[in-house]
Amino acid sequence: MRVIATAGHVDHGKSTLIRALTGMEPDRWAEERRRGMTIDLGYAWTTLAGGEPIAFVDVPGHQRFLSNMLAGVGPAPAVLMVVAADEGWRQQSEEHLAAIDALGIEVGLVAVTRSDLADPQPAMAQARHRLAASRLGAVETIAVSGATGQGVEELRAALARTVRRLPPPEVDGPVRLWVDRAFTIAGSGTVVTATLGAGTIQVGDRLELEGRTVTVRGIQSLGQQAESVRAVSRVALNLRGVARDDVRRGDPLLTAGAWHRSTTADVRIHHLSAPAEPSGTRSWRGDLVLHIGSAAVSVRVRVLDQDVARLELARPLPLRAGDRAVLRDPGRQQVVAAVTLLDVDPPALTRRGAARTRAADLADLADLADLADQDVGGEVAGSMLAQQVSRRGVMRRAQFELLSGLAVTDRDIEQSGTVLEVGGWLIDSAAWHRWLAALPGIVDGYLQDHPLEPGMPAEAVRHALELPERELLPPLLAASSLLSGQGRVSRPGHRISLGPAEVAMARLEERLRDKPFRAPERAELHELGLGVRQLATAAKANRILRLDADIILLPDAPQRAVDLLAALAQPFTTSQARIALDSTRRVVVPLLEYLDSIELTRRLDGSSRQVIDRRSVDGVS
């Protein structure tokens, strides 16, 4: 299916022409038919000679309903410009053309209506002249009369030629469906209508709608039930999971997780030609309205430079870089500018001079006006990738694709010249090398300040480097000469130092090597200057074995004890063990209990044990 929106001055015969083409009444409201003018959006459809269905979105022409007109034209890929032969090019003709140009629509044609009432040639010449200066350029111009049927078949043939110029729709892309109408059908519930510009929707699909999940329970297109519908199409969706009063025009139905919702966006301004152009962007005051799809949202505009500005939206919208939109002054009922979104997740402007710096950064993205057409070369995509990654230092590949709507290729990364990819992360090369250079000094400084620790905690390393994500630390450590393990980072060969207590620890180790089971008393440890902290550090470094707070042995004491106890007649008593080990009951009882716990000895009764294993216990603690 192809979708075309009408445009043109009020009472120039748009609805009459649609009736002549389709045999359907596009005006939905009795008030519209009574007043003979379109107030809201109307819809109708027909089949062209080649068998291709075509749907029309009939928009109001009156200046007071410009917002409704933009809601209808916004999602449409092509336009049918209507000009009356007896009145010619008028004010709303110019304003509608400005809106069409602002939205970036490049395919269309002109129908000069009421050709039975006046010579159509002057109006046709006017229309061709005005459209030639727009994005539509040179278009076919057909003289018709909705009342007599004159030229209607020629117009149908011209429509067939026009829609063949449309690019193929993106049927596999994520869905962003801008609701233009919502109502209730008895027995079915909430129904919304919209123009599906990209993607495919099937019955049973789950979509996001303003923070909630809804299910598509039914689809209708061109008055027929369908199991699925592909872009570009006019669709009516029966939704489960939302009440009619909770849906409004401009709400987006979205593929879950595929869109970034923005309240701030940096844009390129496309100034319009007279008469729509204001006296200058610097003169904009108060709220303007941003129109995208069928949505209309109040925005505050902060001009950063002549051609770039920041928009602050009154509510979040699903936006992508490359989207085109319209700024309208609701007070004057005029389109004042078109905008192309350059960055839908921009940095805050908090420092003095930040706006000027940001404007310079955006100048590098000024050639993205055609990004929405998905016809982007590696150089432009690479430039955009470099800037987005450079500003953040690091971002996930999926995040960039979410913001830009572009798939990142190896060529884009190579073209950027400054972006590295590590495990699904896009990293600014300057940031990566800065982190890599700073890493050894950070760890060395920590080990110098904390000599009793085996290494710097990995999370502390991440915070010191200001890494935005902890998943970045392992590949960074892998690229360095440092070691990591058990949540710590250290230098190769690093050994815990007790600082001033090293001399005391050496004296203790010498004494225990000579008398391995003569554990020093607490007073002796205190005299040596070995307190709780020093002993805990030595135990962590496997330099001592602590059986309890006061019984300190060397790490090889269990092995040496088993060797001596195995030489005794089995089983043996605690007294026999005390004599064999040349120790005291204070040390032997907890040592035997420790040997029991690691299954080197077994307690048989209240007074005897036996050795059950001669395996090495070096390092057991």
Is 119's pLDDT higher than 90?
A: yes
Is 265's pLDDT higher than 60?
A: yes
The answer to whether residue 486 sits within a structural domain is: no
Average pLDDT, the chain: 81
The answer to whether residue 312 sits within a structural domain is: no
CATH number at residue 82: 3.40.50.300
Position 380 confidence tier, pLDDT thresholds 50, 70, 90: low
Structure tokens at 109: 């044609």
Number of structural domains the chain divides into: 3
Is 147's pLDDT higher than 50?
A: yes
pLDDT of residue 312: 93
Mean pLDDT value of segment 65-90: 74
Q: What is the DSSP letter of 499?
A: G
Query: What residue type is assigned to position 216 of the chain?
Result: V
C-alpha dihedral over 510, 513, 517, 522, to 10 degrees? 10
Domain-ending residue, one of 138, 163, 188: 163
CATH number at residue 519: 1.10.10.10
Q: Which residue has the higher pLDDT, 30 or 346?
A: 346
CA 215, distance to chain mean position in Å, is 23
451 contacts 440 by C-beta, under 8 angstroms: no
Q: pLDDT per residue over 221-264, tens digit each?
A: 888 899 999 888 888 899 999 998 899 988 999 998 888 899 99
Q: Which residue has the higher pLDDT, 393 or 609?
A: 609
Q: What percent of the chain has pLDDT over 70?
A: 86
Is 581's pLDDT higher than 90?
A: yes
Which of 33-47, 108-122, 445-459 is most confident? 108-122
Domain-ending residue, one of 163, 185, 200: 163
* Range list of H helices, 262-417: 354-363, 378-392, 397-404, 410-416
Residues 158 and 180 in one domain: no
Residues 74 and 194 in one domain: no
Query: Buried b vs exposed e over 489-509: b needs ≥16 C-beta within 10 Å?
Result: bbeeebebbbeebeebbeebe
Residue 190 belongs to what domain range? 176-255
The answer to whether residue 414 sits within a structural domain is: no
Structure tokens at 256: 């879950």
Structure tokens at 432: 């990566």
Is 280's pLDDT higher than 60?
A: no
Q: Which residue has the higher pLDDT, 355 or 28?
A: 355
Residues 145 and 251 in one domain: no
Lowest-confidence pick of 165-169, 273-277, 449-453: 273-277
Is 268's pLDDT higher than 90?
A: no
pLDDT of residue 386: 81
Residues 188 and 143 in one domain: no
CA 113, distance to chain mean position in Å, is 47
Mean pLDDT value of segment 453-469: 88
Position 281 confidence tier, pLDDT thresholds 50, 70, 90: low
Residues 17 and 159 in one domain: yes
Residues 18 and 133 in one domain: yes
Task: Provide the phi-psi class of 393: left if phi over 0, else alpha when psi is between -120 and 50, else beta.
Answer: left
Position 278 confidence tier, pLDDT thresholds 50, 70, 90: very low
pLDDT of residue 614: 52
Residues 159 and 11 in one domain: yes
3-class secondary-structure state, position 410: helix
Q: pLDDT per residue over 590-600, tens digit each?
A: 999 999 998 89
The answer to whether residue 362 sits within a structural domain is: no
Domain-ending residue, one of 255, 273, 292: 255
Residues 156 and 180 in one domain: no
pLDDT of residue 195: 83
Q: pLDDT per residue over 466-508, tens digit each?
A: 888 888 899 899 889 898 888 889 888 777 666 667 778 888 8
The answer to whether residue 123 sits within a structural domain is: yes
Q: pLDDT per residue over 539-555, tens digit each?
A: 877 788 988 878 999 99
What is d(CA 269, CA 496) in angstroms, rounded to the nearest whole number? 62
Residues 64 and 121 in one domain: yes
The answer to whether residue 556 sits within a structural domain is: yes
Q: Which residue has the higher pLDDT, 584 or 448?
A: 584
Query: Buried b vs exposed e over 436-468: b needs ≥16 C-beta within 10 Å?
Result: eeebeebbeebbeeebbbbbbebebbbebbebe
260 contacts 319 by C-beta, under 8 angstroms: yes
Position 185 confidence tier, pLDDT thresholds 50, 70, 90: confident
The answer to whether residue 544 sits within a structural domain is: yes
Is 61's pLDDT higher than 50?
A: no
Residues 58 and 144 in one domain: yes
pLDDT of residue 275: 41
Number of H helices, E strands in the chain: 19, 32
Position 14 confidence tier, pLDDT thresholds 50, 70, 90: confident
Is 146's pLDDT higher than 90?
A: no
CATH number at residue 197: 2.40.30.10
pLDDT of residue 204: 94
pLDDT of residue 580: 94
The answer to whether residue 60 sits within a structural domain is: yes
Residues 153 and 218 in one domain: no
Residues 509 and 575 in one domain: yes
Position 271 confidence tier, pLDDT thresholds 50, 70, 90: low
